[in-house]
Amino acid sequence: MAFTFSVELTLKRHMSKHYNVVVIGAGTGGIMTAAQLKNKKKDLRIAIIDPAETHYYQPAWTLVGAGTFDYEKTGRPMKSVIPAGCDWIQDAVTEIHPDKNGVDTVNSGHFSYDYLVASPGIQIDENGIPGLQEGLDKGIVVSNYTDPKTVWEKVQQFKGGNAVFTQPTTPIKCGGAPQKIMYLADDYWAKQGVKKDTNVVFATPGSVIFGVPDFAKTLTKVLQRKEIHFKPFYAISKIDVDKKEVHFSNAKPGDNACVINEGEGLGERLDGESTYVLPFDFLHLAPPQSAPDFIKKSPLSNGTPGGWIDVNINTLQHNGYPNVFALGDAAALPTAKTGAAIRKQAPVVAANLLAHMENTAFGDKQYEGYSSCPLVTGYGKMVLAEFKYDNVRDSDPFLSKFVDTTKENYSMWILKKYGLPYLYWNRMMKGKM
């Protein structure tokens, strides 16, 4: 009898379950889209698949790393943000079968769908740079992307030397984050009297401090005011944990753009013909990032090393599977991977999915690449960089009537620290914006 009951339970657990919409990922994109779909069509059967116990407001982790935001307040129980009427499948997706309209999970079996919304987020590839995992494990390397509390501890413990901030050659979540923590740490060290004994270095594979000229001008002035060493075209290739040295290669093939300036006091050296070695006493790194492995190996991927989901950049509909839509960090969209971008993407996905469901043409809901980066430049200072595809400035016209968002503002700092978290939990997560 017991054996029969066990078999029946197992069969039920693995029996195919069908939903109108299956949402992969209970991050910002998944929750927002599910909430908006439910708000517009309450009878939809929606499942959200995500194994996490906690939903985090990650934009605040920069502030956590600078000691000005409580880490515990960045997370809430996942069950508290799941939209009413949606089923939360607390499990991880292992495989997607878009030709058969189904997904497999680790423990809950197979789920079939009429429509799929893929918003799985981005994964951190800690093994993507030799020495990174070891450095993180030993606390020699720190990152707001993995452990902002440790970042703050190390910022406080730092007593001078080379403080290096850098980022990988891959796309990353919030491309401005590596420099935000640098500005805040620099501010803290100045207040503690440590700055005079410190060389702050920003090494980036990019050619400029920021892609949108209006904001780059302001940030260049910030670099100059803070006397930060700016190193463009520096692509991190290895971390020597024992020697506390970070290795860079030239990010611009065929052009010797990496320049070692004599007399700058950094102790930088050339190793061979193309490797630049920089000793460090503090190293903050945004790790390499990519789409989750189950996305990379799925037919939804665009086949690039990052494995991004192949979608139309305006409609957010998959280019090969019309009943699949994608948004968020894993989508192959040529814009910054931020929560602000998702805020504009979710209404497009919801509207176009419902239009497709009702066999009507897509309306005027188009995603134009909007993203924003709240560039904190110090305690009490922030530049609000808003832009769209092709790095075209796209500042909010109403907000711009009251404040020049290209300049450092205290009001923008208040928005970052208090306004945006409130809007996130009370509006975005409820599908109201």
pLDDT at residue 265, as a whole number: 81
Beta bridge partners of 245: 240, 279
Residue with tokens 């209404």: 347
Residue in the block written with tokens 């990379």: 296
Q: Would you mind telling me the total number of residues written for the chain in this entry?
A: 433
pLDDT tens for each residue of 268-296: 888 877 789 999 999 999 999 999 999 99
- The pLDDT tens digits for 313-368 are 999 999 999 999 999 999 999 999 999 999 999 999 999 999 999 999 888 889 99
pTM for this predicted structure: 0.92
Closest CA to 381 of 211, 190, 146: 190
Q: Identify the pLDDT of residue 264.
A: 67
Task: For each of the domains in the chain, give its residue range(s) and CATH number, in order of start.
Answer: 17-122+291-368 (3.50.50.60), 127-288 (3.50.50.60)
Q: Which residues of the chain have pLDDT under 70?
A: 1-16, 253-264
Amino acid identity, position 81: V
Tell me how far CA of residue 342 lies from CA of 24, 196, 307, 336, in angstroms: 15, 41, 19, 10
Q: Which of 364, 381, 383, 365 is nearest to 373 (CA)?
A: 383
Give the sheet arrangement for strand 381-388, strand by strand: 371-378, 381-388, 392-393
Structure tokens at 193: 């009297």
Q: Token pair 């909430």 is at which residue?
A: 35
Q: Which residues contact 137 (CB under 8 A, 6 or more apart)?
A: none
- Predicted local distance difference test score (pLDDT) of residue 263: 54
Separation in Å, CA 50 to CA 29, 108, 232: 12, 11, 38
Predicted pLDDT of residue 331:
97
3-state secondary structure of 209: coil
Tokens 């907000």 — which residue? 399
318 in helix, strand or coil? strand
- CA dist list (Å): 139 to 36, 133, 356, 375, 402: 41, 10, 50, 26, 43
State residue 9's pLDDT score: 42
Question: Active-site residues: which are they?
Answer: 174, 373
Q: How far is CA 408 from CA 81, 230, 272, 413, in A?
A: 33, 20, 42, 9
CA-closest candidate to residue 105, choices 121, 97, 94: 94
Q: Reduce the DSSP state of residue 152 to 3 states and report it.
A: helix
222: tokens are: 């910030």
Placement of tokens 């935000």 in the chain: 180
* CA terminus-to-terminus distance, the chain: 53
Backbone angles phi, psi at 290, to 5 degrees: -160, 175
